[in-house]
Amino acid sequence: MVDDDVRNVFALTSALEMYGMRVLYADNGHDAIRTLQQETGGVHLVLMDVMLPGMDGNETMSMIRDMSAFAELPILVLTAKAMPGDREKSITAGASDYITKPVDLDHLLGVMRSHLY
């Protein structure tokens, strides 16, 4: 999960861990890329906020997509930034799907399931 708002991280991590998921966390794009590269157990899916300090989520996704090891990694954008054209920008940058906040957990789990299986 890549999000700089600890409230979002805590809420989603708590919910996802109840479903047996192991959640890794980064609060900016640079740390997200470093975590992907260092995680030996493999990352199966990324939840990406768009509004991040420094390098935003769209730029981070573009950089991830440029790495052959992560070209097919599902990246789900979770964002409050839902202005006209934002979804298209994120999809163009490499998002597999785009979900607006506040996040409906059942919807998120369904989208995650569709990208994992």
pLDDT (0 to 100) of residue 41: 80
- pLDDT block averages, 10 residues each, the chain of length 117: 96 96 97 94 94 96 96 95 90 97 96 95
Which of 86, 84, 25, 11 lies closest to 50 in space, CA to CA? 86
- For 45-59, letters b (16+ CB in 10 Å) and e give ebbbbbebeebbbbe
pLDDT (0 to 100) of residue 72: 94
- Structural domain contains residue 55: yes
- Structural domain contains residue 61: yes
CATH of the domain at 28: 3.40.50.2300
The C-alpha atoms of residue 100 and residue 117 are separated, in whole angstroms, by 22
- Structural domain contains residue 64: yes
Which of 54, 42, 52 lies closest to 77 in space, CA to CA? 52
Note down the domain range covering 22: 6-81+88-93
- Structural domain contains residue 107: no
> What's the structural domain count of the chain?
1
> What is the value of pTM for the model shown?
0.95
The C-alpha atoms of residue 74 and residue 46 are separated, in whole angstroms, by 6
- Structural domain contains residue 117: no
Q: Tens of pLDDT along 66-76?
A: 999 999 999 99
Q: What are phi and psi of 55, to 5 degrees?
A: -85, 120
Average pLDDT, the chain: 95
Pull the structure tokens for residue 59.
């730029």
